[in-house]
Amino acid sequence: MVTRTWEDLEKGSSEEPFLLPVGSFEQHGYHAPLATDSIIVKALADSVTSKTNAIRGPCVPVGVSDYHGSFTGTLWVPPATLKRYLKEIVGSMGEHGFDKIIFVNGHGGNQGSLHELSRDLRKNKDIYALVWTWFRAVSDLIEDLFDQPGYPSDNYGLHADAVETSVLMAIDEKLVDQSKFKKSSENGSEKWYKFKEGAVSRYTVDSFSESGVAGRDLKHADPEKGEVLLERSEEKLSNLVEWVKNDNEWR
């Protein structure tokens, strides 16, 4: 869509799913760019639209990232603002007849707003919206590639760590400063948040990670593993596109 004319879209089929990448603009440690989440979802959406007839909209580059706010350069909007803005975007696509929407999400902080919006849109049966978050879709593969037996992935964070960095390296290795891997991990955290007696006691990232990194040690970052994750993610999203295209029982 971003490189097509209005006439091209008008001649196409409105039965094709509309992919809307939703990223973030937030710190990703000392070694990765602020736009990491957006870079990943744009790459995934571009790949899938090149292999299917799905239509990709422009990436929404700023999401719910206030808990990263103490790190310079991080931008954010409140959950209600993101939800309202996205509702207007997909509503305008609905006016053109595109009523099957897949939010291609790359940021954990967006998930609550996206799921709430998808439920709201479906209530009126005007728009069929689904939320697809790449690292949720391939969580089993992440465990297979990166985790030790007996150490489940829910013990880890997944922010600017070996997993996310591997995917970014597979997209473009020049985006990553590997000389800062050690510094990022040594000043980071394995786990996301701090807990006390089963309750989250600290939410802001700077309260548990000086570098902003949370998750698997960056010494395990590997572009070949990142490529495997990208390929599986693309496969999953492509399959979802075909399923959504042919699912006519949602109304």
pLDDT of residue 203 exceeding 90? no
% of the chain surpassing 90 pLDDT: 76
Give the model confidence (pLDDT) of 61-100 as tens digits.
999 999 999 999 999 999 999 999 999 999 999 999 999 9
pLDDT value, residue 151: 47
- Distance between CA 203 and CA 138 in Å, rounded? 25
Q: At what angle do helices 79-95 and 111-123 cross, to 10 degrees?
A: 40
- Distance between CA 21 and CA 19 in Å, rounded? 6
CATH number of 12-240: 3.40.50.10310
The mean per-residue pLDDT over the stretch 188-215 comes to 84
**Residues 113, 79 contacting (CB under 8 angstroms):** yes
pLDDT of residue 221 exceeding 60? yes
Tokens 């954010």 found at:
76
Give the model confidence (pLDDT) of 31-45 as tens digits.
999 999 999 999 999
The mean per-residue pLDDT over the stretch 229-238 comes to 98
Give the model confidence (pLDDT) of 103-160 as tens digits.
999 999 999 999 999 999 988 778 999 999 999 999 999 989 987 554 455 556 689 9
- Distance between CA 101 and CA 126 in Å, rounded? 11
pLDDT value, residue 126: 80
Contacts of 97 (CB under 8 A, 6+ apart): 14
User: In terms of pTM, does the model score above 0.95?
Assistant: no
Q: At what angle do helices 223-246 and 162-171 cross, to 10 degrees?
A: 80
Pull the structure tokens for residue 41. 């979802």
* DSSP-assigned beta bridge partners for residue 214: 159, 189
pLDDT of residue 194 exceeding 80? no
pLDDT of residue 56 exceeding 50? yes
Q: What is the three-class DSSP state of 159?
A: strand
- Sign, CA dihedral 96-98-99-101, equals negative
